[in-house]
Chains A and B, each alone.
Chain A
Amino acid sequence: MLGILASVIDGVLVGLVYGLAAMGLTLIWGVMDVINLTHGAMIVAGMFALFLLTSVLGLNPYVAMAPVLIGGFFVGVTLYWIAIHRMVGRPPLMSLLSTFSVNLVLIGVGTAVWGTALFNVDVSLPGFTMGRYTFPGAHILAAVLAAVIATALYLFLQHTRLGKSIRAVANNREAAELVGIPTTRVLAISVGLGVALAGVSGVLIATLFPFTVLSGDGYQLKGFVVTVLGGFGNPIGALMGGIALGLLEGAVTPFVPVSWTLVIEFVLFVLVLIAFPAGIFRSRRGAL
C-alpha cells in the first residue's frame, strides 16, 4: 500500500516538471496557433546550458536557471524572426514544417558537436524518507520550482499589461491590432517566453535524470500529451495536465508491467483528443 502511495507521490513530483516542460509549448500554441517543433531541442539546450554552467563556471544548478531564462528568451525571439514570422496566418502545417526543419538543423549540429554521449549533472540534496521509500531532494525542489514558475506565469498573464496584451492577441489577433496592440512584438515576446520556459524546464530535468542530445524528443512528446490534457494556451492547465500524466505513470506502474505504460499513455492521449479537443482542464473563459 505504501508502495503505491510512494509511486503516486513520485509521479506527481515528476509530473509538475512535465507540466513546466509543456508550458512553453502550450503558450506559443495558444497565442499564435503555431506548434513549435523545436521545443524538444530547446529543452535539450537548457540541459546542456546547465551542464556547461555547472561544470565550466561552477554555478549552483538552481542559480543557473536565471541565465537560461534570459538566454532562452533571446533565442526564442530570434527563432520567431527566422522561422515563425512569415508563417503567422498561414495554415498551421507550414509553421509545423518550418519549426520542424529548424529542429532538424539544431539536433544535427548538436549531434555533430556532442555525439550522443550521456551527460550527467550531479545534484545531491537531502531527501524525504517515508518507510523504505525515499523521495530524492532534487525531485522535490524541482517540483516546487516548477509550481512557482507556473504561478508566476499565470500572475504575469492575468495582472500585467504585457500579459494582458498577450492574452488579447491570443484571443483575436485582428481585434488586438485594431486597438493598438503591437501584435508582432507581442508574438515575438510570446515565443521568447515559450522558449525560455522550455530552457528552464530543461535545466530542472537535467538535475533529475541524465540526458543526451536526443533526449528532447521524448519530453516534447510528453509535452504534447500534457498540452492535450490541459488545454491549449493554458499554463495552469499545463501544470494540471503534467500532474495527471505523472499520476498516471506513477499509479499504473505498480500494477502493470512497466512496458505497458507507454501504450496506455498514448491510447489515452488519442482518446482524450477525440473526446475533449479543447483539453480536460480548459478554463471557462476560453484561450488563456
Chain B
Amino acid sequence: MLSMPRRPFFWIITLAVVAFALAPVYGNDVSLRESLLLDALYITLASNLNLMLGYAGYVNFGSIVFFGLGGYICVWLVNSYKWTLAPSLVVAGVCVSGLALIFGFGILRLRGAFFALSTIGVIEAVQAFAENFTPWGGSSGIYLPASIFTPLGGPAHALWIIYFIMVGVMGASLYLSYAIKTSKFGLGLLAIGQNEDAAAILGVPTSRYKAVVYSVSAFLPAIAGGLYFFKSAFIQPSDAFDLSLSTEALVVGMLGGQGTVTGVAIGAFLYEELRGYLLTSSTFANFQLVVSGALLLLIVLFFPGGLMGWIYSRFPRTQKVLE
C-alpha cells in the first residue's frame, strides 16, 4: 500500500478529487456544486458497494442501510445531544461499521442469492424499526433547526464546507478501493469472488475477510449519510432507507464495470448526470424508469463487463494503468 504514490493511478484519483473540489469554486457556481455533491455521493456509495460486489462477489441490495443509519445517528447526536458535525460524523461511521461487523457474522454465512435476499430483509426491518423508534422521531423523523449551521458560519458557508467534506469522503472511498485492490486482503477477496470454496481450501480466511470487508464497506457510506442528512436538516425513514437508491448503486456498479475502481466512479458520475437530466426533462420525466431499465438490460445482456470491460477490450494497455 505504501507503494501507491508511485503508481500513476494514485495520481489520477488525486487529480479527480482536486478537480471536484475546485470546479465550483471558480465562479462561485452553486448549482454546479449541488450537482457535483450528488455525483460525489453516488461515487462514494457505489465504490463502497463495489468492495462487496465487485471484489467478493456478494450482492448487497441493502447497502443503503449504512447510509441511512449513519444519517440517523449523526442527526440524532446533533439534535438531541447538541454535538457538532465533525464528532457526530466520526461516531456515526464507527457505530455503523461496528454494527455491520456484528450483523455481518450472521448473514455472511449465507451465499449468493440467499445473501442478497437477506440484505433486503435487513433494510426493510431497519426501516420498519426506524418508523417505530420514538427517540428517532418515528415516521415523522427528526427536524434540525437552522441554528445547526451557525458554528459553521451560517447556511451559505456551511454548504461549502459540507461539499468539501463530501469530496474528501469520495476521495477516501476511491483511495480505499484502490488500496484494497492492490493488497493481499484484496487478493483474498477476489479469490472469494471467483470461487469461495477453493479460496477457503487454499487458506484464505474467508469468514474473517468477508466480515471485515462488509464492515469496512459500511464506514464511509455512513459518514456520507451523516453529511447528507445534516445538510438536508431533516431525516425520515422513507428517505433514509430508500431501496431504490441501493439498486441505483448496483446499476452504477454494473454500468461502469464491477470490480474496477475507475469504472464504478465513471459509472456513478454518468448515471447521476443521466438521472438528473431525465428528472427535469419534460419529455422524459415520465420515462426515467423506462430509460434506466432499458439501459441496464442492454448492459447486462450485451456488455456485462460494463464500460470498463468495453474499454479494456478495445484498449488493452489501459488495464495496466486504470484499475
Q: Which residues from chain A sit less than 8 Å from chain B, CB to CB?
A: 29, 33, 35, 83, 86-87, 91-94, 96-98, 100-109, 111-112, 221, 224-225, 228, 257, 259-260, 262-263, 266-267, 269-270, 273-274, 277
Contact = CB atoms under 8 A, between A and B. Distances in A.
Interface string B94-134: 00000000000011011011101110111011001101100
A270 B289 contact: no
Contacts of A92: 112-113, 116
Given A101-B296, A103-B293, A105-B297, A273 B114 contact: yes
Contacts of B125: 262-263, 266-267, 269-270
B2 interface: no
A277 B106 CA distance: 13
B304 interface: yes
B296 A111 contact: no
Interface string B223-236: 00000000000000
A97 B300 CA distance: 7
Contact of B121 (A96, A97, A98, A266): A266
Interface of B: 57, 59, 106-107, 109-110, 112-114, 116-118, 120-122, 124-125, 128-129, 131-132, 247, 250-251, 254, 286-297, 300-301, 304
Contacts of B124: 221, 262, 266
Given A108-B290, A260-B132, A98 B110 contact: no
Contact of A101 (B128, B287, B293): B293
Nearest to A98: B300
A137 B305 CA distance: 53
Given A108-B288, A259-B132, A262-B124, A101 B297 contact: yes
A105 B290 contact: yes
Contact of A104 (B57, B131, B290): B290
Contact of A269 (B109, B110, B121, B131): B121
A266 B129 CA distance: 10
Contact of A263 (B118, B128, B295): B128
Contacts of A96: 59, 113, 116
Given A97-B250, A101-B297, A102-B297, 17 more contacts: A35-B117, A83-B301, A91-B112, A92-B112, A94-B304, A98-B301, A104-B292, A108-B290, A221-B124, A257-B132, A259-B131, A259-B132, A260-B128, A263-B128, A266-B124, A270-B125, A273-B110
B159 to A, nearest CB: 32
A263 B254 contact: no
A97 B254 contact: yes
Nearest to B113: A92
Given A35-B113, A92-B112, A274-B107, A112 B131 contact: no
30 contacts: A83-B301, A91-B112, A93-B116, A98-B300, A100-B296, A101-B295, A101-B300, A102-B297, A107-B289, A108-B287, A108-B288, A108-B289, A111-B286, A221-B124, A224-B117, A228-B117, A257-B132, A259-B128, A259-B132, A263-B132, A266-B122, A266-B124, A266-B125, A266-B128, A269-B118, A269-B121, A270-B122, A273-B121, A274-B106, A277-B110
Nearest to A90: B304
A246 to B, nearest CB: 18
Contacts of B132: 257, 259-260, 263
Nearest to A29: B113
A91 to B, nearest CB: 8
Contacts of A267: 121, 125
Contact of B247 (A33, A100, A112, A262): A100
Contact of B290 (A93, A112, A259): A112
A26 B117 CA distance: 13
B300 to A, nearest CB: 5
A72 B301 CA distance: 23
Contacts of A111: 286, 289
B206 to A, nearest CB: 17
A33 B289 CA distance: 26
A73 B116 CA distance: 28
A93 B59 contact: yes
Nearest to A266: B125
A226 to B, nearest CB: 12
Contacts of A112: 286-287, 290
Contacts of A86: 301
A257 B117 CA distance: 26
A137 to B, nearest CB: 32
A274 to B, nearest CB: 6
B113 A224 contact: no
B317 to A, nearest CB: 28
B282 to A, nearest CB: 13
Contacts of A102: 293, 297
